[in-house]
Amino acid sequence: MWRTVLDKMLAKLVVTGRLGVTWPDGRITAYGPGGDLEAKVRLTEESIVRELGQRPVLALGEGYMDGRIDVSPEQLYPFMALLIRNQQSGAMPRWFDTVQALRGWTRGIEQRNNPLRSQKNVQHHYDISDDLYRLFLDEDMQYSCAYFARPDMTLEAAQAAKKDLIARKLRITPGMRVLDIGCGWGGMALTLARDYGARVVGVTLSENQLATAQARAEEAGLSDKVEFRLLDYRKVGETFDRIVSVGMLEHVGFPHLDSYFAKVDELLAEDGIALIHTIGHLSEPQPTSMWLDKYIFPGGYVPSLSEVSASVEKTGLWATDVEVLRGHYGPTLHHWRARFEAALPKVREMYDETFVRMWRFYLVACEATFEEMYQGVFHLQLAHRQDAVPVTRDYLSRGQGDDRMMQAAQ
């Protein structure tokens, strides 16, 4: 029965490229007309056939993790890209679309991330081990989309370019007080203090990230300019000249978007500037992947541009600039995935094979999503006054950014 269900699903879904499926009994079926994307997969047990027919998104990741879906590492990316591309152009069963719609309607209940739950969610992902992240991130441990001003840039150069672009959009001058919401391992805060002369307060809910960020500030001789706190952003009470938040809005959750931007409004000085860097949908709102929510980012939610705009509109803030970064996160994830695969001997010393397959699936699925879906990165520049920034983007030229860095160093 379930083979028939899954067979019909795939026959209807795969309208471009070709997918070859080897069933548990050894029989092989091909789906799709062929084309630039082709992949082969083997289903090793009847149980995964049933689960794919019942809950395809969750079962896809779980089946790969436990080996019931057998795909070689080289075939995993084309396999995921093929499925995602066809999900955009093909047709999923009506019941699947209904479930997705219901999950969208109930996201306000599923993602009630109060301070305690938010801390647990952060610890689930970020407090596993800094050593793992050091294996595949750049030297500054930037765990967000890089900025590939040129396609041949190294990951280190592209991450430095990302930080520089954000700093130029913030128009920082020496002595300004900056709040870094969700400061990670401290790279952005240390850059703004070292290269731009800012005085930075970074807040995080990750104990691992806090310890690493504080150690890095001490080692760089910047402890007098940078303060890191284990603190929920909702409990910050000071006013700041500038606010920056990179890759944190995705952890806020749909029900808290309004309160997040209201807090930015509250903490930003009258003549201040905020820059929010977040993953976002360019299509209508989408529910979080059930697999991603269960195994990687519990409580996470990627907002659509319409949702973010609606929340900003409820504040007293100007959206002085909105930029959509396209074609940058896919290459970023490709670099991370290549480094992860190169470091597999060390990863396997730290974790079992199920974890290795889980993390590989996470990196591959995210890379394919950014390449195949209407998903990018938003840069929301916000201010209380429309004249807080120039009326054209000419000030973002690299020469002016370099001048400010030289000024901070003097």
**Could you tell me if 83 and 213 are in contact, meaning their C-beta atoms sit under 8 angstroms apart?**
no
First vs last Cα of the chain: how many Å apart? 74
Poorest-confidence range of 58-67, 294-303, 314-323, 355-364?
Answer: 294-303
Rounded CA gap, 185 and 216, in Å? Answer: 8
pLDDT interval class at 399 (50, 70, 90): very low
User: What was the pLDDT predicted at 221?
Assistant: 97
Nearest to 248 by CA among 319, 181, 326: 181
pLDDT of residue 406: 39
Instruction: Tell me the average pLDDT across 255-265.
Output: 96
Which CATH number is 113-409's, of 3.40.50.150, 3.30.70.260, 1.10.1050.10, 3.30.200.20?
A: 3.40.50.150
pLDDT band at 93 (very low <50, low <70, confident <90, very high): low
Q: What is the pLDDT of residues 104-141, one digit of tens each?
A: 555 555 655 666 666 665 655 665 789 999 999 999 99
DSSP-derived 3-state class of residue 64: helix
pLDDT tier, 1 (very low <50, low <70, confident <90, very high otherwise): confident
pLDDT of residue 31: 96
How many CB atoms are closer than 10 A to CB 240? 22
Whether the predicted pLDDT of 301 surpasses 70: yes
pLDDT at 254: 86
Average pLDDT over all residues of the chain: 90
Q: What is the pLDDT of residue 44?
A: 97
Q: Where are the domains of the chain?
A: 2-105, 113-409
Whole-angstrom Cα distance, residue 173 to residue 98?
51
The per-residue b/e assignment along 298-325, b for 16 or more CB within 10 angstroms, e otherwise, is bbbbbbbbebbeebbeebebbebbebeb
pLDDT at 36: 85
What is the Cα–Cα distance from 66 to 44, expressed in whole angstroms?
11
pLDDT surpassing 50 at residue 96: yes
Structure tokens at 44: 């090793």
What tens digit of pLDDT does each residue of 162-219 get?
A: 999 999 999 999 999 999 999 999 999 999 999 999 999 999 999 999 999 999 999 9
Tokens 């070292």 found at: 194
Q: Are strands 69-70 and 17-22 parallel, antiparallel or unpaired?
A: unpaired
Give all strands of the β-sheet with 177-181 in edge-to-edge order. Answer: 226-230, 199-204, 177-181, 240-246, 268-281, 375-383, 318-325
What length does the chain have? 410
- The rounded distance, in Å, linking the Cα atoms of 7 and 222 is 60
Q: What whole-number distance in Å separates Cα of residue 47 and Cα of residue 24?
A: 10
> What are the two backbone dihedrals, phi and then psi, of residue 171, each rounded to the nearest 5 degrees?
50, 55
What percentage of the chain has pLDDT greater than the value 90? 79
Active site residues: 366
Out of 234-243, 259-268, 388-397, which region has the weakest mean confidence (pLDDT)? Answer: 388-397
> Is pLDDT at 286 greater than 90 in this prediction?
no
At 184, list the tokens.
Answer: 């990670």
Cross-strand bridge partners of residue 43: 69
pLDDT tens for 40-55 read 999 999 999 999 998 9
Condensed to tens digits (0 to 9), the pLDDT of residues 156-176 reads: 999 999 999 999 999 999 999
CA distance 406 to 51: 59
**pLDDT in the model for residue 405:** 43
